[in-house]
Amino acid sequence: MNVTAAPLPGATRLPRNKVLTPILEALDGYREALDDAELAAAHLRELLPIPREPSAAPPCTAEWHRDEDENDTVAEKLDRWRNRALGYQRHAIAVHNSILTANLDHILNQLHLRLVEVLLTAAPDAEALIAAGVDTAEQAIEADHVPEWSRLQQETWPDYAMLRGSQESIHLHVAPDRIWMSARPSIDGEDPASLLWFKNLPQLWPDWRERGRTRPQFTITGSPPRPEPWPRPDGAEFLIWSFKAGAEHWIPDTKQFDEEFGPRRQQLLDNLDAPQQPDDESSPFDSLLYGPLEAERQRQTQAADTSFEGHPPPIFAQPYVPRP
């Protein structure tokens, strides 16, 4: 993964890829601030110290003093130029960083829209594989569904992983630390064990905070089983699992995350004892486009309809609408 070269320590370093770079380049003033910082960096590299010219006059004479004064004048001038260029560069970097901070939610919303596009494109192949009972590459060969599997593995997964990598960089270098820290397990865990990956993670895996430690599984022979409910997140097998499990993929902005997992709701989510089961008639693809409008509709429906005995009504996909 390529990373932008920081003109000076203090400039935010983010991946350069086909998804994130165009989003950043479209920000008003972003490219100009970066160009200014890089221009100053190039100018500073050219400001090499000029060696002092030794005086030909005998020391401690008037002529010797004049030669030393000329050397001091040149050195002082270079220091002024260097300090002026450093100040210009620091200002450009500060503008660059402030543009990223001011547009944080916009960047995350744009990444979410790209995520929706990737999943919608992958849905037909995933649906065909699920209908054929395919979970692994070997089963795809046996069921004669190699093209569908190959597209998920070679086209969908690289784009999906790129989006998740971009999301992680934004949260590590731009977003408030509290979001990344509150979205992750308490000790360790794989990347998908994050509220920033799956909105319904507490339902998919109630013990995700402790990585299964509060409900350990034991085996007499062989290696211990994986506590994660998903296969290793490295390709088509993981994507197939997410479609079948009804995982609600998302890249939330800061407001959406706080609304869903802020302090008032976190305790309730952590105390869920069992995953909620989707309605038998629902499709595994219904929740892919889960957006803020659908979240509000679901909350209203749950409050009005108590006939589901503690289970929410099926989630129906709605187009994602970014917040203004």
User: Do 50 and 172 reside in the same domain of the chain?
Assistant: no
Backbone conformation region of residue 10, classed left if phi is above 0, alpha if psi is from -120 to 50, else beta: left
> What confidence category does residue 291 fall into, taking pLDDT thresholds of 50, 70 and 90?
very low
Give pTM, 2 decimals: 0.74
- Let me know if residue 7 belongs to a domain: no
Structure tokens that stand for 164 in this block: 């998740």
Token pair 């998920």 in the structure block, residue: 152
Round to whole Å and give the CA distance between 247 and 4.
Answer: 33
Answer whether 127's CB lies under 8 Å from 267's CB.
no
User: Do 79 and 149 reside in the same domain of the chain?
Assistant: no
pLDDT given for residue 260 in this prediction: 93
**Element (H or E) spanning 99, and its range?**
helix 62-102
Q: Which residue has the higher pLDDT, 49 or 227?
A: 227
Answer whether 160's CB lies under 8 Å from 239's CB.
yes
* Reduced 3-state DSSP string for 270-287: HCCCCCCCCCCCCCCCCC
User: Do 124 and 80 reside in the same domain of the chain?
Assistant: no
pLDDT given for residue 60 in this prediction: 86
Give the SS3 label for residue 16.
strand
Q: What is the mean pLDDT of residues 137-150?
A: 96
Structure tokens that stand for 298 in this block: 């679901």
pLDDT given for residue 165 in this prediction: 97
> What confidence category does residue 311 fall into, taking pLDDT thresholds of 50, 70 and 90?
very low
Q: What is the mean pLDDT of residues 101-128?
A: 97
User: Do 96 and 197 reside in the same domain of the chain?
Assistant: no
Name the residue range of residue 29's domain. Answer: 13-101
Whole-number average pLDDT of the chain: 82
User: Do 199 and 299 reside in the same domain of the chain?
Assistant: yes
Q: Which residue has the higher pLDDT, 310 or 192?
A: 192
DSSP 305: -
Give the lowest-confidence range in 203-217, 218-232, 301-315.
301-315
pLDDT at residue 306 above 80?
A: no
pLDDT given for residue 77 in this prediction: 86
User: Do 153 and 205 reside in the same domain of the chain?
Assistant: yes
Give the lowest-confidence range in 143-147, 180-184, 283-287, 291-295.
291-295
User: Do 19 and 156 reside in the same domain of the chain?
Assistant: no
Round to whole Å and give the CA distance between 265 and 299.
Answer: 13
Answer whether 170's CB lies under 8 Å from 107's CB.
yes
pLDDT given for residue 268 in this prediction: 58
CA–CA distance from 80 to each of 66, 67, 71, 77, 85 (Å)? Answer: 21, 20, 14, 5, 9
- Let me know if residue 54 belongs to a domain: yes
Answer whether 185's CB lies under 8 Å from 210's CB.
yes
- Let me know if residue 273 belongs to a domain: yes
Count of the separate structural domains present in the chain: 2
User: Do 175 and 287 reside in the same domain of the chain?
Assistant: yes
* Final residue before a domain boundary, out of 101, 131, 157: 101
Question: Angle CA(312)–CA(283)–CA(110) in degrees, nearest 5?
Answer: 85
- Let me know if residue 78 belongs to a domain: yes
User: Do 272 and 161 reside in the same domain of the chain?
Assistant: yes
Q: What is the mean pLDDT of residues 40-65?
A: 82
Q: What is the CA radius of gyration of the chain?
A: 28
Q: Which residue has the higher pLDDT, 252 or 65?
A: 252
> What confidence category does residue 220 fall into, taking pLDDT thresholds of 50, 70 and 90?
low
**Sign of the C-alpha dihedral, residues 208, 211, 214, 218?**
positive
pLDDT, tens digit, for every residue of 9-29? 678 889 999 999 999 999 999
DSSP 2: E
For the residues of 118-166, what is the DSSP string, one character each?
Answer: HHHHHHHHHHHHHHTT--SHHHHHHTT-HHHHHHIIIIIHHHHHHHHHH
Contacts made by residues 209-213, CB under 8 angstroms, sequence distance 24+: 209/185, 209/270, 210/185, 210/186, 211/185, 211/187
User: Do 73 and 179 reside in the same domain of the chain?
Assistant: no
* Cross-strand bridge partners of residue 3: 15
> What confidence category does residue 215 fall into, taking pLDDT thresholds of 50, 70 and 90?
low
User: Do 24 and 79 reside in the same domain of the chain?
Assistant: yes
* Cross-strand bridge partners of residue 2: 16
The listed range with the strongest mean pLDDT (25-39, 156-170, 180-194, 197-211) is 156-170
> What confidence category does residue 172 fall into, taking pLDDT thresholds of 50, 70 and 90?
very high
- Let me know if residue 111 belongs to a domain: no
pLDDT, tens digit, for every residue of 80-112? 889 999 999 999 999 999 999 999 999 999 999
